[in-house]
Amino acid sequence: MPTAFRPSSCCGNVGNDSLPPAGSDERSVLTRVNSGLGSLFWERDSLSEAVLGVGAAHVSHLLSVLVLYRLGILVWRDRRVAFVGACLHVFSPAGIFLSAPYSESTFALLSFAGYFLYAKGCYAREPTARSDAWQLLAGAVFGVATVFRSNGIFNGLPFAYEAAQELVRFLRSPDRVTFRRLIFLGVGGLCVGAGLVVPQLVAYQRYCSGLSGASPRPWCARVFPSIYTYVQELYW
């Protein structure tokens, strides 16, 4: 949601302590970039920030298409199938969101990149420390994607599934390779979860601990104090 259309009543107080809507991680980055470039090339305003946002969205969308194409080649071993898949993403019904100054295109890019890295580890001829490192790196990329959109937490399912398989294999016949894979998969899965938990902890410390000097927000008193749920209720 563009800043110009953001409701002002979500937190009671309007200003720097107002709760950000979904996708604000990308907007905060764009605001800093706009501020830095504004001091060099143009005057900082809402229009220049919107232009930067649209530009970043289009670049992310382009890169996501290219990464998806490479992922298709890696998985299907067929350039034609990979090309069709990439084209379908280009003409996605969600194209307006992929072109708007929103987190959708960046999330897609990071998710596709994560699956590409994960697939590189899976399609290795034999399990090595290098193939495990690819999957660990995939977990880190998925974690960053989850910071942009909370539903990125579902990218952790492949880690949970494969870790369960490796655990059964290890209990039946313990060996160093399986144990190493369990460690790498576990850390990768924790990276995905951190993308959801860390922003929640930061928000709780800022809006619920009283350190900022502002009164606690209504969602702080809930059994499961989730800033995501509260923002979703207000904006959608």
- Write out pLDDT tens, residues 178-222: 999 999 999 999 999 999 999 999 999 888 987 777 788 888 988
Q: What is the mean pLDDT of residues 52-59?
A: 89
Confidence at residue 46, expressed as pLDDT on a 0 to 100 scale: 63
Rounded distance, CA 112 to CA 68, Å? 6
Euclidean distance between CA atoms 107 and 41, whole angstroms: 29
Please give the Cα distance from 200 to 226 (Å, whole number): 7
Q: What is the pLDDT of residues 2-28, one digit of tens each?
A: 333 233 333 333 333 444 444 445 455
pLDDT at 10: 34
For 115-159, write each residue's pLDDT tens digit: 999 999 999 878 899 999 999 999 999 999 999 999 999 999 999
For 180, counting Cβ atoms within 10 Å of its Cβ (0-12 exposed, 13-18 middle, 19+ buried), the class is middle
Q: Whose CA is closest to 37, among 53, 15, 58, 24? A: 53
Residue 167: predicted pLDDT:
96
What is the rounded CA–CA span in Å between residue 218 and residue 179?
A: 45
| Tokens of residue 63, six digits | 């890169």
pLDDT for res 234? 83
Q: Residue by residue, what is the 3-state secondary structure of 164-182? A: HHHHHHHHHCCCHHHHHHH
pLDDT of 14 reads 30
Q: What is the pLDDT of residue 211?
A: 75
Q: What SS3 state is found at 97?
A: helix
The model's confidence at residue 92, banded by pLDDT at 50, 70 and 90, is: confident
Give, as one character, the DSSP assignment of residue 13: S
Tokens of 221: 């008193």
The residues spanned by each domain of the chain are: 22-123, 124-236
